[in-house]
Amino acid sequence: MRMIICAAVLSALAAGPAVSSENVKATNTSADAGRTVYICDNSAMTRRAFAREFGKAEFVKAEAAVVKGERWAAPKCMTAREARRLKQLASLD
């Protein structure tokens, strides 16, 4: 039994950075402008985890993330599709 628990803990620790680096990549409009955007899926589990970490899970569109001069008190979520749109909008500037 101890062996199974140890194996589960080790696999969770090993998978943690891979999962985190995949879903928690900030886009290029982030920290220097006071705005951080994370790529999140829209599942209930993700919303709960994001809310636990940052207060609430608020999804933002690419157009809203590009607006200059606006500061956010907390990071916001963005779908992968909106992140691609954000990259397109950023490359136009």
CA distance 80 to 83: 5
Q: Binning pLDDT at 50, 70 and 90, where does residue 70 land?
A: confident
Q: Is the pLDDT of residue 38 over 70?
A: yes
Q: Is residue 12 domain-resident?
A: no
Residue 8 in any domain: the answer is: no
Average pLDDT, the chain: 76
Contacts of 88 (CB under 8 A, 6+ apart): 62
Domain count for the chain: 1
Whether 9 is covered by a domain: the verdict is no
CA dihedral over 58, 64, 65, 71, signed as positive or negative: negative
pLDDT grade, residue 17 (50/70/90)?
Answer: very low
Range list of H helices, the chain = 2-23, 44-54, 62-66, 80-92
Domain that holds residue 44: 23-92
Q: Which tokens hold the place of 65?
A: 């993330």
Residue 48 falls within a domain, yes or no? yes
Percentage of the chain with pLDDT > 90?
44
Considering the domain boundaries, does residue 2 fall inside one?
no
Of residues 34 and 64, more confidence is placed in: 64
Tokens of 5: 């628990």
Q: Is residue 16 situated within a structural domain? A: no
Whole-model pTM: value is: 0.59
| Within-domain flag for 14 | no
